[in-house]
Amino acid sequence: MSSSQSHWANLPSIGLSMRVLFTSYLMAVGLGLLLAGGQIMLTHGMADGKFGLSVDDIVYSYYGNQKNSRLETALNGIMKDKAPAEVRRDIINWARDGAPKDQWDSHYKTVLSNHCTACHGELPGIPDFNNYNQVRLLAEVDHGATIGSLTRVSHIHIFGIAFIFFFVGLIFSLAVNIPKWLKETVIALPFVFLIIDVLSWWLTKWHPGFAWLTIIGGFGYTAASMFMWVTSIYQMWFMKKRPGQRYLNEWQYD
């Protein structure tokens, strides 16, 4: 391979069109990851009734809060602002009593209709609070995520996030002045931590002690992908290059 051929692909030297393409993708992905983080904080992060992601949030989401029903956990957590405190206490007491059908017909059907069915009755994919049997299931002890929901979310998460990491890693592979071993490690780490993250959901479903793995997995792939993102943006737009300077790129070894 000639010298001119061995230096053709690197971030500081690519043309403007490729820079715009890569940067647009990285900006969109960066915004998407920020929104995903916000969504996690507003869902899993409120599982224990307190803002901010904690080990308890992860345990409640996957293993369950087995002292309470899923309905009570939600009313004290993510759904805390959806009804006045006295209404939430009333529903929780009914759930603790076993959610009797006669009280549903005479009172709680109307209560849930007034405060819950604008979403739980109209939006697909969530329990229908017009249906007593679906509400009764939520009033049972909270055993966390079901095997069906874990299977569905796991395969969607792996497929979707893996595509993101692939293209971020592909762009980062054109970075220069980074040791080969470090570049290869950073490219692989998001995939490793992604598998740890998803595996931890299943392990936490079995035993709450594995909840720490979820935090480790999420932090690990976030840190690795952020390093690739920042490095790629810097080298495309801010890295100073002397006239006529050529950079060695790992691709010449492949």
Residue 49 falls in which region: left (phi positive, over 0), alpha (psi -120 to 50) or beta: left
Rounded Cα gap, residues 14 and 8, in angstroms: 8
241: which DSSP letter?
-
**Whether residue 123 is found in the same domain as residue 37:** no
Which pair of structure tokens corresponds to residue 200?
A: 């931890």
CB 194 within 8 A of CB 221: yes
Rounded Cα gap, residues 159 and 98, in angstroms: 40
Tell me: pLDDT of 170 over 90. Answer: yes
Domain count, the chain: 2
Rounded Cα gap, residues 251 and 254, in angstroms: 5
The pLDDT of residue 55 is 85
How sure is the predictor about 200, in pLDDT bands with cuts at 50, 70 and 90? very high
* Domain boundary pick from 80, 110, 138: 138
**Whether residue 155 is found in the same domain as residue 245:** yes
Tell me which residue of 202, 90, 95, 104 sits closest to 142, measured CA to CA: 95
Tell me: pLDDT of 41 over 90. Answer: no
- Is residue 56 one of the residues assigned to a domain? no
